[in-house]
Structure 1
Amino acid sequence: MRFVLASQSPARLQTLRNAGVEPEVIVSGVDEDNVTAESPGELARALAVLKARAVVSTLTDHATVLGCDSVLEIDGVAYGKPGTPEVARERLRMMSGRTGVLHTGHCLFDTRTRQELRELASTTVRFADLTEAEIDAYVATGEPLVVAGSFTVDGLGGPFVTGIEGDYHNVVGISLPLVRRMLAQVGIDWPSLWTATSRKLEYDEAEAARYDETRGGTQRAQAAADAIQELLPKGGRVLELAVGTGTVAAELVAQGNLIHGLDLSTAMLHHARVRLPGHVAAADATQLPIADRRCDAVLAIWLLHLLDDSDQVLAEVARVLRPDGVFITTTEKRESTRYASGRTPDNHRSEDALPLLVARAAHHGLHLDGATTFPGPPRGNTAIPLYPLIRFRRSAG
């Protein structure tokens, strides 16, 4: 069956993954700021319904779609994402030492049975007394700016929550027991959603911790960022696929770019969130949780050579790029580096080979229009390696 999560929340996606479920993610694009309701709980439920219906309207085949939205209620007032540091700081001061209710609306739409279920889960949350220094430090991380109620219980905000009454997962953004019951009502058994085999991540925690130092550290990251900067359009939204630990993205942010990062590896994202707070998420590069034509640039640094089929990624890149947007990627990873990293050589043409990429990219409306190189760290007495970097531009039509 096709199970779709109509939410861009990385916390909801990770909660489902931790429970053995790998949903397809489709972002609804609903404008949350223009929705009103009689109460905070009804607002959360209404937003969940709108998200689920928006995604269902885009489907061309059957699916079970789950929409979710969370709202914090204090003294009868609903608080969503603050959006700015000033608003987040004001809310955290207001929340300090008090108790609120986190409402999460759930809407399950099953297209085969044409059933739409709407439910609300509410959990009481008690907040610690926060000092001004703690509030300033927390806001500076960027985390409270992009989450409902300006806090998380599963992230940096966890130590500021002294207790909850109700479902913990509901505070994260999705009530697993409630979703299980809703699925049962449309004839879907929860264990049937468990993936047959666990997703094999490229890196575990130990590998992620030493990744930077084994890949040239800050020196290579800076060199890559400088080269990418030459090929990037000025301003706009930049998406990096396989962001890893965020080491290159952080250098690009320091140069004035707005970077959003995606990666499959939980271990790598743990490090990336420190460098890019509020701007990274778990996602598959072959199924990007982004609406059509939303990005000005997409980056794929040291990714394509790892794939079995780069065509799927190129198709997604073309879909999310705006007309005249650019795709920047490394190319021609040599076979010797596969041996060095413990992988066997390819028995077929490398997925990042330049002729192959040019041909495949053209099929998706991406045309080569720029290239450069950047140096890697020196290796003993050998010559300094140069990494090719190429740019494709999306057709304006």
Structure 2
Amino acid sequence: MTDPKRDRPRFVLASASPARLKTLRSAGVEPEVIVSGVDEDHITAESPGELARVLATLKARAVVATLTDHATVLGCDSVLEIDGVAYGKPGTPDAARERLRAMSGRTGVLHTGHCLFDTRTKQELRELGSTTVHFAELTEEEIDAYVATGEPLVVAGSFTVDGIGGPFVRAIEGDYHNVVGVSLPLLRTMLAQVGISWPALWEQPHFAYDEDEAAKYDETRGGPDRARAAALAVHELLGSTGGRVLELAVGTGIVGAELVALGNLVHGVDLSPAMLRRARIRLPGHVAAADAAQLPFADRRCDAVVAVWLLHLLADSDAVLAEVARVLRPGGVFVTTAEKSEAGRVADGRTPKEGRSEDSLALLVARAARYGLVLDGATTFVGHNQARGTTADPVYPVARFRRVD
């Protein structure tokens, strides 16, 4: 059993772009996102390409200035160049229409500046990726309809190649991902220069339990008594969600089976083959191998999502919270245990240390709110048969977040 928090470098994306984040995630990299707050509107440079590189550098440096621990920070910014003129985000529908008319049937160059700052080696690398983009001829009806979607207002050059605007891009010459917002081959080369191999950033299963761990998991974690207590607390918070539950990190299925006994229909996912073999006995036909940060479900399909003793194992809970919000229907609930690392302190009547763990309730409330998950319920249960160094069994908080639009 390995702890990826020790093995994987801390990699920070200094950008709010969903497209950049999605591109990195699709390539197996789960960055920590810290938005720089750089005002792009008042920055100038001698050329569109240099402007993209300057903006990327400013973003990376702004985030580095906020860090209290070592990290490798990537800043990116994209600019479309047509006839030597730089086009960023248009901001207004009228500006977007004007630009799309000017781009129609033309060819431009999409520049993406990349700045990689490694605080441990104190290296700052600045590179530029440039891709030629050939645009299709657009009708006025297509331009109006595209602007009405809102997409071209918030992206560099007023278009996307990976979204609604994809059909309006006739061809590209160069790196596709650079047009989306981050050149993966260029980033790989930059990382190598600061001593980080690309595979070192791949997201690995968090605490991938092997056969030996799975075999003794139940008996070393309080057994049926603790599982039943946890299931009762979760069931109490599920409320009238229809009884259909997706359990993340289902493990051996010991909690899921108790939820079924309480009248819920439970589907579970986990990354550990050894744990899933046991879960399939308790929940036959209702478990699958999947990463909680990349769930194989369509948007807004789940009534309830449950995570019992998962979040405290993560190096960063942000990706899981984003996926939970994505798959939950409006009004659906996310029920999760919290403050596990501080259970002994809670049992002794002491205040948990906020921010110590990824399941810190204060941290979860702040992060979940970014994805439309609002705390609206909580309870506790006693971790029977698992007292460790305290005079009483630990008391575990359980929180409920509701998905709102």
Give the TM-score normalised by the residue count of structure 1: 0.60
Structure 1 residues without counterparts, runs of 5 or longer: 216-240, 245-261, 273-299, 322-326, 336-346, 358-386, 390-397
**Residue among 252, 263, 276 paired with 2:322:** 263
SS of aligned partner of 1:72: strand
Letter in structure 2 aligned against 1:20: G
SS of aligned partner of 1:100: strand
Letter in structure 1 aligned against 2:376: T
Letter in structure 2 aligned against 1:195: E
Displacement of 1:331: 1.7
**Residue among 330, 340, 359 paired with 2:376:** 330
**Residue among 302, 306, 316 paired with 2:336:** 306
Q: Quote the Cα distance in structure 1 between the aligned partners of 2:333 and 2:23.
A: 28
2:155 corresponds in structure 1 to: 147
SS of aligned partner of 1:263: helix
In the alignment, is the contact (CA less than 8 A) between 1:301 and 1:329 conserved in 2?
A: no
Displacement of 1:205: 3.3
2:58 corresponds in structure 1 to: 50
- Is 1:136 aligned with 2:144? yes
Q: Quote the Cα distance in structure 1 between the aligned partners of 2:57 and 2:179.
A: 19
Letter in structure 2 aligned against 1:329: L
In the alignment, is the contact (CA less than 8 A) between 1:89 and 1:136 conserved in 2?
A: yes
Alignment of 1:264-283 (within 5 A): 264=323, 268=327
> Structure 1 residues 60, 307: closer, same or farther in 2, change over 3 A?
same
2:93 corresponds in structure 1 to: 85
SS of aligned partner of 1:138: helix
Query: How many pairs does the alignment contain?
Result: 266
Q: Quote the Cα distance in structure 2 between the aligned partners of 1:130 and 1:334.
A: 59
**Residue among 70, 80, 103 paired with 1:72:** 80
| Partner deviation per Cα, 1:123-152 (whole Å, 9 max, x = no partner) | 000111111111111111111111100111
Letter in structure 2 aligned against 1:306: T
Q: Quote the Cα distance in structure 1 between the aligned partners of 2:22 and 2:137.
A: 29
Letter in structure 1 aligned against 2:363: A
In the alignment, is the contact (CA less than 8 A) between 2:79 and 2:112 conserved in 1?
A: yes
SS of aligned partner of 1:4: strand
Q: Quote the Cα distance in structure 1 between the aligned partners of 2:141 and 2:379.
A: 47
SS of aligned partner of 1:351: strand
SS of aligned partner of 2:58: helix
2:297 corresponds in structure 1 to: 205
> Structure 1 residues 196, 320: closer, same or farther in 2, change over 3 A?
closer
Displacement of 1:100: 0.5
**Residue among 169, 191, 194 paired with 2:202:** 194
In the alignment, is the contact (CA less than 8 A) between 2:88 and 2:155 conserved in 1?
A: yes
Q: Quote the Cα distance in structure 1 between the aligned partners of 2:82 and 2:54.
A: 19
Q: Quote the Cα distance in structure 2 between the aligned partners of 1:143 and 1:37.
A: 26
Letter in structure 1 aligned against 2:204: A
In the alignment, is the contact (CA less than 8 A) between 1:205 and 1:267 conserved in 2?
A: no
Alignment of 1:151-170 (within 5 A): 151-170=159-178
1:60 corresponds in structure 2 to: 68
Q: Quote the Cα distance in structure 1 between the aligned partners of 2:295 and 2:202.
A: 22
Structure 2 residues without counterparts, runs of 5 or longer: 1-8, 206-270, 272-290, 305-316, 340-357, 382-393
| Partner deviation per Cα, 1:176-229 (whole Å, 9 max, x = no partner) | 0000000111111111111112742484235x3644xx68xxxxxxxxxxxxxx
Q: Quote the Cα distance in structure 1 between the aligned partners of 2:294 and 2:117.
A: 34
Runs of 4+ in 1 over 2 A off after TM superposition: 201-206, 208-211, 262-269, 300-303, 306-321, 327-330, 332-335, 347-350
2:399 corresponds in structure 1 to: 352
Letter in structure 2 aligned against 1:49: T
> Structure 1 residues 264, 328: closer, same or farther in 2, change over 3 A?
closer
1:224 corresponds in structure 2 to: none
**Residue among 81, 85, 107 paired with 1:99:** 107
In the alignment, is the contact (CA less than 8 A) between 2:151 and 2:164 conserved in 1?
A: yes
**Residue among 166, 187, 191 paired with 1:183:** 191
Q: Quote the Cα distance in structure 1 between the aligned partners of 2:294 and 2:125.
A: 37
In the alignment, is the contact (CA less than 8 A) between 1:70 and 1:148 conserved in 2?
A: yes
- Is 1:35 aligned with 2:43? yes
**Residue among 273, 290, 315 paired with 2:363:** 315
Displacement of 1:265: 5.6
Q: Quote the Cα distance in structure 2 between the aligned partners of 1:318 and 1:196.
A: 25
Give the TM-score normalised by the residue count of structure 2: 0.59
In the alignment, is the contact (CA less than 8 A) between 1:203 and 1:267 conserved in 2?
A: no
User: Larger Rg: 1 or 2?
Assistant: 2
| Partner deviation per Cα, 1:213-251 (whole Å, 9 max, x = no partner) | x68xxxxxxxxxxxxxxxxxxxxxxxxx99x9xxxxxxx
Identity between Structure 1 and Structure 2 (%):
67
